[in-house]
Chain A
Amino acid sequence: MATEGQQSNTSQRLPLELIAECTGSKLWIIMKNDKELVGTLRGFDDYVNMVLEDVTEFENTPEGIRTNQLDQILLNGNNICLLIPGGSGPLGDQ
């Protein structure tokens, strides 16, 4: 079922197609560790390594949330946990 289902089934939207639709818009990324990022998605590959622009990096520390601003990054897909289209980020809409 799973073997031939993936390609012939047109009603199912593949996860990577959802990400492709986010290209050019804001995306909120939650990593496996205590890090989160919000940025504009410019592109990605099959491993979900992503090129992001105007990135805000959020790091949860005992003192609070540390943020860091970056112009353009290539994010390693290896440690990504969740992707949320829209990109309100951990602090809500700013």
Chain B
Amino acid sequence: MSAGAHSKSPSDFLKLVLGRPVIVKLNSGVVYKGILACLDGYMNIAMEQTEEYVNDQLIHKYGDAFIRGNNVLYISTQTSKKKKLLVEFRHHRQ
């Protein structure tokens, strides 16, 4: 569908990150960092060495974790860039 030198389908992305450190963010805002062991078509995820963060604070560690796919907002490669926290005010939006 979207072929081209620079296109990368979701399945290409998943092949790339399998077995690598990832950040998984849920719709609730909770963040999991760990190694992506595997996942399926529902975006159910199995992770290893999982750390659970709420508001940037580490609150739990799990050896293995299964995350039900319907809760997943995104799967991200782990970035070395420092997180920015920027507060703007609502009047920027009309």
Contacts and interface: CB of A to CB of B under 8 A. Distances in A.
A and B touch in the complex (CB under 8 A): yes
* Chain B interface residue bracket vs A: 35 or more
A11 interface: no
A74 B87 contact: no
B92 A90 contact: yes
Contacts of A35: 73
Secondary structure class of chain A's binding surface, majority of residues: strand
Q: Which of A60, A63, A78 has the most CB of B within 10 A?
A: A78
Contacts of B84: 67-69
B57 interface: no
Contact of B9 (A51, A76, A79): A51
Interface string A60-85: 10011111111111111011000000
Given A43-B12, A74-B75, A76-B74, A24 B6 contact: yes
A75 B73 contact: yes
B6 A42 contact: yes
**Considering the complex of A and B, which 5 residue pairs feature the smallest CB-CB distances, nearest first?**
A73-B76, A43-B9, A42-B8, A64-B87, A73-B74
Interface of B: 1-2, 4, 6-14, 17, 23, 27, 29, 43, 69-70, 72-77, 79, 81, 83-90, 92-93
Given A24-B6, A65-B87, 13 more contacts: A20-B1, A43-B9, A51-B13, A60-B90, A64-B89, A67-B86, A73-B76, A74-B75, A76-B43, A76-B69, A76-B73, A79-B27, A79-B73
